[in-house]
Amino acid sequence: MPIFSYKGIDSHTGKQVKANITVDSLVLAKQRLASAGILLIEIDEKKSRDTKKLGGISIDKKVGVADLSLMTRQLATLISAKIPLAEGLSALIDQVDHPSLRLVLSEVRQKINEGASLGKSLADYPKIFDNIYVNMVEAGEASGTLELVLLRLAEFTESRTRLKNKIMSAMLYPIIMACVGSLMMTFIFVMVIPKIARLFASAKKELPLPTKICIGISSFIQHYWWAILIGAPILFMIARAYLRSEKGKERWHRLQLRLPILGEIIMMINVGRFCSTLATLLNSGVPILTSLKIVKNLISNVHMQKAVSEAQAFVSEGSSLAIPLINSGYFPPLVTHMIKLGEKSGELENLLGIVAKNYDEQVTSKLDGLTAVLEPIMMILLGAAVAFIVLSVVVPMMSLNSMKTG
């Protein structure tokens, strides 16, 4: 259903009004506004090109996961109630609060009325509906299980959001501690150490090595702060460019998997994502080769991506999915064993779902453990830095006092 943006004068109050109205046509929009006592100044159909560009369409605000998940559940409910798709979308447009999503659904409904499928219509908006979403919807339309697919999509979207929130929660405390510690160290080296350095200089006494290091750092920050401000962003951009290169990304991702604790968590997250997504796609009727192509793009580690690409090639030749995953060495024996069993028994998607659930629980447990480990480590590092500075200052100060006393 089109959305019209209008500006006019309210005949009852004499005030200017500016708003949107959702109706089937421009004529009906003018009739509705006239009956409401609005004297039109201008009215235009609100097209996606009228707002900020984002991906395949133009929308003014990015659609969040919560809005997308809720919309998906609502659409599944309407379809399961045997409401025709176009009518269901019309009802959904009135219920959706997010203005950009409402605009997109309005355009999708128009395309469906013109004869397009839901999957093809959603594919025009890749920044909102990704490849997984579109492929699953198309598979649901082809198999006649669209409402079931939409429910699984809502659950899948919510589970990915929960995992992201868990990772952010685990990293929040270390990030805060690092920022606070950096600010505190900067204050000490800029404001405190220079005053103490002048006191030591007037005493003309040989200073211990830790004190010389502190004074040297302080002097460097004071005299070359501009070099730090210029150099830090340049080094950051160089490092980012290297890590984005094929060679740099391979080395960095290999190092990630070898890191203590973090490496295991990264592996578990990618394995869990592989199993849960593949299970969801297969359950929704998406062919296994298409499913593996989609899943590969969701895995963040390039070495595990290559393993899935090799698996896709093996499966296309009629071989087992488990063999290339075993040969890669990046997928745990539990996963490959369950895949073998699933291929033999014809219950691959169900067993993948069980493995995915198990890994989700393990990731949660590991993230909780990581948080518990990082907190004391950060406290120890911060305390050690402060202790080093304090001792660097206190020891020579005590020496000066003893000289004065003597």
| pTM of the full structure | 0.67
CATH topology of domain 53-129: Receptor-associated Protein (1.20.81)
Give me the mean pLDDT over the 16-20 stretch.
79
CATH of domain 157-406: 1.20.81.30
User: How confident is the model at residue 178, as a pLDDT?
Assistant: 84
Mean pLDDT of 114-128: 87
Span 355-362, average pLDDT: 87
Identify the residue with better confidence: 163 or 325. 325
**Whether the domain at 53-129 and the domain at 157-406 fall into the same CATH topology:** yes
* Across 133-154, average pLDDT: 80
3-state helix/strand/coil string of the chain:
CCEEEEEEEECCCCCEEEEEEECCCHHHHHHHHHHCCEEEEEEEECCHHHCCEECCEECCCCCCHHHHHHHHHHHHHHHHCCCCHHHHHHHHHHHCCCHHHHHHHHHHHHHHHCCCCHHHHHCCCCCCCCHHHHHHHHHHHHHCCHHHHHHHHHHHHHHHHHHHHHHHHHHHHHHHHHHHHHHHHHHHHHHHHHHHHHHHHHHCCCCCHHHHHHHHHHHHHHHCHHHHHHHHHHHHHHHHHHHHCHHHHHHHHHHHHHCCCHHHHHHHHHHHHHHHHHHHHHHCCCCHHHHHHHHHHHCCCHHHHHHHHHHHHHHHCCCCCHHHHHHHCCCCHHHHHHHHHHHHHCCHHHHHHHHHHHHHHHHHHHHHHHHHHHHHHHHHHHHHHHHHHHHHHHHHHHHHHHHHHC
Domain ranges of the chain: 3-46, 53-129, 157-406
**Residues 231-240: pLDDT tens digits?**
989 999 999 9
Taking residues 164-187, report their average pLDDT.
Answer: 83
Assess whether pLDDT exceeds 50 at residue 117: yes
Q: Span 119-141, mean pLDDT?
A: 83
pLDDT at residue 400, rounded to an integer: 67
pLDDT at 375 over 50: yes
